[in-house]
């Protein structure tokens, strides 16, 4: 199957999901820009491969007699080679302990490997979760109240780092928004204004996604997530999160601006800055060349 055929299947499946689950509380695409890039790739033979995976949330309410309002959230990402390769799915619920969540996700992956390899499988995955989740919750509820109590707090924490590319960042209000929003959401990183514009934010996954949701709603000539890093943290305490950070706060970085409008940065200095932070490999993802 060619890359474009795979992309066409992804678009068809997204259309099917949105028609079957029209309400946001059932189905939400978390990165509309990735979908737009995918559609552009399908419709234009000369288009480059998309830079971001399509990501979305499917919420499922299984039939559970003693916990009828329990909701399971399926955080889904479609790799570029899906459906040739399996989707990335993480099922979460406030009633699952860490061990139960691992068990459920492992069983789901086994089911998909055995039954859905090479075929679109999001509906099958959702049905499996709806049919089988009750067993995992019941196991948890049948254990001691102490275990159940701790399960309520055993959310898996994900640390995320987003590398955002913009055609340019000149506007002072946008630059202020980037810094203010990062501070509000406890995100660190940096913003390099000018042409091109580079923004990196890191912190809790939910906060990074909220930041991206706000930023992309502003008016841009072009903006996209060039690269994304996600790390699951066991325990997920404050110390674990801080240990993952490569930047202490979010600050604006200007590297010897030049050009007619003083808006072109010295990319050699950017590379050395990234190198100091242990992120030198990102330079090639942004600019397609090795840094020096």
Band (pLDDT 50/70/90 cuts) for residue 137 is confident
Is there a contact between 68 and 100 (Cβ–Cβ < 8 Å)?
no
pLDDT, tens digit, 9 for 90 and up, residues 93-128: 888 888 888 889 999 999 999 988 788 999 999 999
Question: Residue 18: is its pLDDT beyond 90?
Answer: yes
User: Other C-beta atoms within 10 Å of 107: how many?
Assistant: 15
Query: Which helix (H) or strand (E) segment is 90 a member of?
Result: strand 88-92
Between residues 152 and 44, which one has the greater pLDDT? 44
Between residues 165 and 117, which one has the greater pLDDT? 165
Q: Say what the pLDDT of residue 176 is.
A: 95
Band (pLDDT 50/70/90 cuts) for residue 11 is very high
Q: Say what the pLDDT of residue 151 is.
A: 44
Residue indicated by tokens 């552009």:
40
Report residue 94: phi and psi, to 5°: -65, -20
Q: Say what the pLDDT of residue 150 is.
A: 44
Question: Residue 155: is its pLDDT beyond 60?
Answer: no
Check: pTM over 0.95? Answer yes or no. no
Mapped onto helix, strand or coil, the DSSP state of residue 159 is: strand
Band (pLDDT 50/70/90 cuts) for residue 42 is very high
Band (pLDDT 50/70/90 cuts) for residue 239 is confident
Question: Residue 64: is its pLDDT beyond 70?
Answer: no
pLDDT, tens digit, 9 for 90 and up, residues 246-265: 999 999 998 876 555 455 67
CA–CA distance, 161 with 229 (Å, rounded to integer): 5
Residue indicated by tokens 């072109």:
264
Question: Residue 145: is its pLDDT beyond 50?
Answer: no
CA–CA distance, 37 with 39 (Å, rounded to integer): 5
Which pair of tokens denotes residue 97? 């302990």
Helices (DSSP H) in the chain: which residue ranges?
A: 3-20, 32-43, 98-115, 122-142, 145-151, 172-184, 205-217, 238-244, 267-276, 281-287
């Amino acid at each position: 199957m060619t890359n474009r055929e795979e992309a066409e299947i992804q678009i068809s499946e997204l259309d099917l999901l949105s028609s079957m689950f029209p309400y946001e509380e059932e189905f939400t695409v978390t990165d509309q820009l990735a979908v737009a890039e995918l559609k552009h790739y399908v419709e234009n033979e000369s288009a480059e491969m998309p830079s971001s995976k399509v990501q979305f949330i499917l919420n499922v309410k299984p039939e559970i007699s003693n916990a009828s309002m329990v909701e399971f959230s399926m955080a889904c990402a479609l790799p570029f080679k899906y459906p040739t390769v399996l989707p990335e799915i993480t099922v979460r619920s406030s009633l699952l302990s860490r061990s139960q969540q691992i068990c459920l996700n492992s069983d789901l992956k086994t089911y998909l490997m055995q039954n859905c390899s090479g075929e679109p499988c999001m509906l099958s995955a959702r049905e499996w979760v709806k049919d089988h989740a009750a067993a995992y919750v019941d196991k948890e509820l049948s254990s001691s109240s102490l275990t159940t109590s701790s399960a309520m707090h055993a959310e898996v924490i994900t640390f995320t780092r987003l590398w955002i590319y913009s055609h340019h960042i000149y506007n002072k209000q946008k630059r202020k928004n980037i810094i203010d929003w990062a501070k509000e959401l406890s995100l660190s990183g940096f913003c390099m204004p000018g042409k091109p514009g580079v923004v990196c934010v890191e912190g809790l996954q939910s906060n990074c996604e909220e930041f991206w949701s706000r930023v992309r709603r502003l008016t841009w000539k072009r903006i996209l997530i060039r690269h994304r890093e996600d790390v699951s943290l066991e325990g997920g305490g404050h110390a674990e999160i801080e240990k993952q950070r490569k930047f202490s706060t979010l600050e604006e970085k200007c590297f010897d601006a030049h050009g007619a409008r003083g808006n072109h940065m010295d990319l050699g200095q950017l590379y050395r800055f990234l190198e100091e932070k242990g992120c030198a490999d990102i330079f090639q993802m942004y600019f397609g060349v090795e840094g020096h």
